[in-house]
Amino acid sequence: MDLGCYSLHVTRTVAGLWNDEPTLLAATVTTREGLADVDERAEAHLRLPNGADAWARCDMASQTWQMTIRAAGTSGSVTIADFIHPQDDDRLILVDKDGEHVEHLGKTTTYTYQLEAFTAAVREGRPFPTTTDDSVRTMQLIDATYEAACLTPRGMSATASSAETGSFTSRGLRL
């Protein structure tokens, strides 16, 4: 799961506002024709701790590039136009009873933010925003998504030797 990891991680981050994890309700994954280990499309239906539904979708065969986050409620909605590449589209779109309001968040790349966070952690001892525990939990949700779609979770490449990679479990997590 390539692009799907981003939407699943965002859903986990939102669920974290309630100090909890989302619940996976259902998933579908379509593989590329003739390549059973290459995902083409995926959709996961999740439930947030507050009872709201969430969907995480990705489509590697889509003709358009869209990395959007959208949340809707009874009083309106908010959309982040491109959370992966804000340098291409930095709009935050708020819609409420008064209409549509657009704010611009800035064209700094996500890679710049990642490098700044890494530098601050190394040089100043600041906590890094993404922990190994967070990464493992996202991978567990990815594996659960595959299982809910009746597929086997993806593992390490059969060509990687243990000398090159160290010790790994069947799901590719370093022990």
- For the stretch 35-79, pLDDT in tens is 888 889 999 999 999 999 999 999 988 888 888 999 999 999 999
32, β-bridge pairs: 35
Cα 129 to chain centroid, rounded? 15
Residue 57 lies in a domain: yes
Distance between CA atoms of residues 175 and 69, nearest Å: 33
Task: Dump pLDDT digits (tens) for 110-128.
Answer: 999 999 999 999 999 999 9
- Separation between Cα atoms, residue 17 and residue 11, nearest integer Å: 10
Question: Does 174 fall in a domain?
Answer: no
* 175 occurs within a structural domain: no
Q: Domain range holding 66?
A: 4-154
User: CA–CA distance from 72 to each of 49, 93, 94, 140, 143 (Å)?
Assistant: 16, 12, 10, 27, 27
Question: Measured between alpha carbons, how far is 16 from 6 in angstroms, rounded to an integer?
Answer: 15
Closest CA to 49 of 100, 14, 77, 74: 14
Q: Is 94 helix (H, G, I), strand (E, B) or coil?
A: strand
pLDDT at 1: 63
Residue 95 domain-assigned?
Answer: yes
Strand blocks (E) in the chain: 23-32, 35-47, 53-59, 69-73, 76-80, 91-96, 99-104
Whether 170 is in a domain gets the answer: no
Are 175 and 167 spatial neighbours (Cβ–Cβ below 8 Å)? yes
Question: What's the domain count of the chain?
Answer: 1
Domain containing residue 67: CATH number: 3.30.360.10
In a domain, 32, yes or no: yes
Residues 156 and 165 sit within 8 Å (Cβ to Cβ): yes
Strand 53-59 versus strand 35-47 pairing type: antiparallel
Could you tell me if residue 26 is inside a domain? yes
pTM exceeds 0.85 for this model = no
Q: Is the pLDDT of residue 170 over 80?
A: no
Paired with 22 in beta bridges are none
> Does residue 46 belong to any structural domain of this protein?
yes
